[in-house]
């Protein structure tokens, strides 16, 4: 029983760390866009495979949703739900990135558009895929292990 | 402390019979209970809260920014507030105007598509222009364009924002005779107007011609 509790604590710590790290990355992404929404809008306009109606919505919603996800992940309130939404978003971004790369229609990934070194704001391609896969992994770790108050009672029943 | 928990009641075989969401004291979640199994402890109401909360923050952020305005959400290219309106104005031209300009010698056509598309096929005499690299174009080239009576920018049709973006960048570089041929390459190509074609495009065009015959 003691081992089980220790194991649970260890998992919780890993899950919580993953959540905080992912949250920081989402906050960074949100603030880099909020820093100059015009720049973000320009970047989306460059990627002309994104439909016009979606560009306006993306400019309005994505930075805000990234901000709320980041805050939830770091603070811990609705952290697991935020991790799930983050995973869905990252899957979406990865899909768009792959499509943009395959069709050569995307100029760059406007993920962290400004105020960051160039190596961080990488162009579309396999490195974006790799980065997204790592972030999706973080999201799943924080979803499955970042839980202190719930557990399956299957083994108890 | 109470925790919102999704519960599934089931029989001993594990078959789910009924699902419900309720608030349970934290201690009860850890208590052995053959009747209930916790499903991950996800609060379904959190999803709309996070998404709509974020959307609200996003709209609020957009409304308070000086670099963007609402009308830019519905236009091809974003327009910044800080640039004076008279400075960012450029003319959007149609095919007839583009043709007139094409046959007047003192005009340069700039293709704002990616180089591989430009190499595949482009308006005859057009030059390729990467809108993201306008800042690094040589002064001699900028001067040459500036001396033209018009600089026509085009890309992959009305759904493509690159020509508008490029036009704005060119204006920021001091070129004020910029025009955007909005329908761009698809219209020009479909009208079989003078083009520079790659071997691959020639083959494709020949194939299409044979098929149509």
With cut-offs at 50, 70 and 90, classify the pLDDT of residue A154.
Answer: very low
Q: Do A84 and B42 touch (CB under 8 A)?
A: yes
- In a mutational test of the A interface, the residue from B23, B50, B160, B182 whose CB has the highest number of chain A CBs within 10 Å is B50
- Interface touch A45/B162, C-beta < 8 Å: yes
What angle in degrees, to the nearest 10, is found between the helix axes of A79-102 and A2-35? 50
B contact residues 66-85, partner A, Cβ 8 Å cutoff: 67-68, 72-74, 76-78, 80
Classify B152 as helix, strand or coil: strand
Q: Do B58 and A52 touch (CB under 8 A)?
A: no
Cβ of residue B114 closer than 8 Å to a chain A Cβ: yes
The reported pLDDT for the residue numbered A4 is 63
Q: Does ipTM top 0.90?
A: no
More confident residue, B76 or A81: A81
Q: What is the mean pLDDT of residues A44-51?
A: 61
The per-residue pLDDT of chain A, averaged, comes to 74
Quickly tell me which residue has 């482009």 as its tokens: B122
Confidence class for position A58, pLDDT limits 50, 70, 90: confident
Alpha helices in B34-183 (DSSP H): 46-64, 85-88, 95-103, 115-120, 139-146, 162-172
Instruction: Taking residues A147-152, report their average pLDDT.
Output: 49
- What pLDDT does B147 receive? 84
Q: Where are the domains of chain A?
A: 2-156
Say yes or no to pLDDT of A157 above 70: no
The pLDDT tens digits of the residues spanning A95-139 come to: 777 776 666 555 556 666 555 554 555 555 566 777 788 888 888
The answer to whether the CB of A44 falls within 8 A of the CB of A96 is no
Q: Tell me which residue has tokens 């309720």.
A: B22
Q: Where are the beta strands (DSSP E) in chain A?
A: none
Return mean pLDDT, chain B: 75
Judged by CB atoms closer than 8 Å, whether chains meet at B38 and A151 is answered as yes
Alpha carbons A119 and B178: distance in angstroms, whole number: 33
Disruptive mutation site among A34, A41, A154 for chain B (greatest number of B CBs within 10 Å) = A41
Q: What is the pTM of this model?
A: 0.53
What distances in angstroms separate CA B71 from CA A64, B15, B76, B81, one per listed residue?
A: 19, 55, 10, 11
pLDDT at A73 over 70: yes
Segments of chain B scoring below 70 in pLDDT: 1-41, 67, 69, 71-89, 159, 212-213
* Res A79: pLDDT: 82
């Amino acid at each position: 029983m003691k081992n089980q509790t220790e194991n649970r604590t260890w998992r919780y710590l890993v899950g919580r760390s993953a959540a905080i790290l992912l949250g920081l990355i989402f906050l960074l992404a949100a603030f880099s866009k909020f820093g100059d929404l015009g720049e973000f809008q320009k970047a989306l306009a460059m990627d002309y495979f994104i439909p016009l109606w979606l560009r306006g919505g993306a400019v309005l919603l994505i930075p805000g949703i990234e901000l709320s996800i980041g805050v939830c992940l770091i603070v811990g309130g609705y952290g697991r739900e935020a991790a799930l939404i983050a995973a869905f978003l990252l899957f979406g971004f990865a899909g768009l990135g792959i499509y943009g790369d395959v069709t050569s229609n995307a100029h760059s990934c406007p993920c962290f558009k400004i105020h960051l070194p160039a190596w961080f704001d990488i162009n579309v391609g396999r490195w974006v895929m790799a980065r997204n896969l790592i972030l999706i992994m973080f999201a799943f770790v924080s979803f499955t292990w970042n839980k202190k108050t719930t557990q399956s009672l299957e083994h108890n029943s | 402390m109470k925790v919102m928990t999704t519960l599934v009641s089931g029989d001993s075989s594990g078959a789910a019979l009924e699902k419900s969401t309720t608030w349970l004291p934290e201690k009860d979640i850890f208590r052995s209970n053959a009747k209930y199994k916790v499903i991950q402890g996800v609060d379904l109401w959190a999803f709309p809260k996070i998404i709509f909360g974020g959307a609200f923050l996003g709209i609020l952020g957009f409304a308070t920014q000086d670099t963007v305005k609402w009308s830019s959400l519905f236009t091809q290219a974003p327009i910044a507030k800080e640039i004076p309106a008279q400075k960012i104005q450029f003319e959007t031209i149609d095919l007839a105007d583009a043709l007139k300009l094409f046959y007047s010698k003192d005009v340069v056509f700039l293709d704002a598509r990616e180089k591989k598309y430009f190499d595949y096929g482009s308006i005859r005499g057009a030059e390729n222009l990467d809108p993201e690299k306008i800042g690094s174009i040589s002064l001699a080239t900028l001067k040459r364009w500036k001396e033209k009576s018009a600089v026509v920018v085009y890309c992959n049709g009305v759904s493509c924002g690159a020509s508008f973006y490029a036009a704005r960048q060119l204006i920021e570089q001091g070129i004020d005779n910029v025009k955007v041929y909005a329908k761009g390459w698809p219209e020009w190509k479909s009208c079989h107007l003078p083009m520079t074609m790659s071997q691959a495009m020639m083959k494709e065009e020949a194939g299409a011609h044979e098929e149509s015959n």
